[in-house]
């Protein structure tokens, strides 16, 4: 759901995801992209792509942090039948 919001309303999607500085950068980025988008229509997609990538990176970082915390809680010992 956050990805759809980031694609359609980029600054709002970033705010919902907990990234206020990226939302401000995205908001500033929208103005020149709209003005130059009249000449180069592909520029209309830049703020949306930025927001989707930022949301994905933040969610990946959160997931990795959770895995690291789970490993630290278990003492860093692998399961008994674990084979690399």
Q: Is residue 19 part of a domain?
A: yes
**12 CB-contact burial (10 Å; exposed 0-12 / middle 13-18 / buried 19+):** middle
Domain-located, residue 47: yes
> Which pTM does this prediction carry?
0.81
Instruction: Report yes or no on 20 lying in a domain.
Output: yes
For residue 26, is it within any domain? yes
Tokens 């949306």, residue located: 48
d(CA 30, CA 46): 8
pLDDT tens-digit map of 59-76: 999 999 998 888 888 877
Is residue 81 in a domain? no
pLDDT digits (tens, 9 = 90+) for 3-22: 999 999 999 999 999 999 99
């Amino acid at each position: 759901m956050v990805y759809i919001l980031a694609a359609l309303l980029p600054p709002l999607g970033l705010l919902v995801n907990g990234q206020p500085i990226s939302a401000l950068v995205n908001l500033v980025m929208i103005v020149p992209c709209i003005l130059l988008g009249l000449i180069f229509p592909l520029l209309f997609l830049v703020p949306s792509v930025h927001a989707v990538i930022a949301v994905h990176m933040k969610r990946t970082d959160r997931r990795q942090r959770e895995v690291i915390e789970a490993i630290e809680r278990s003492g860093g010992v692998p399961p008994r039948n674990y084979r690399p």
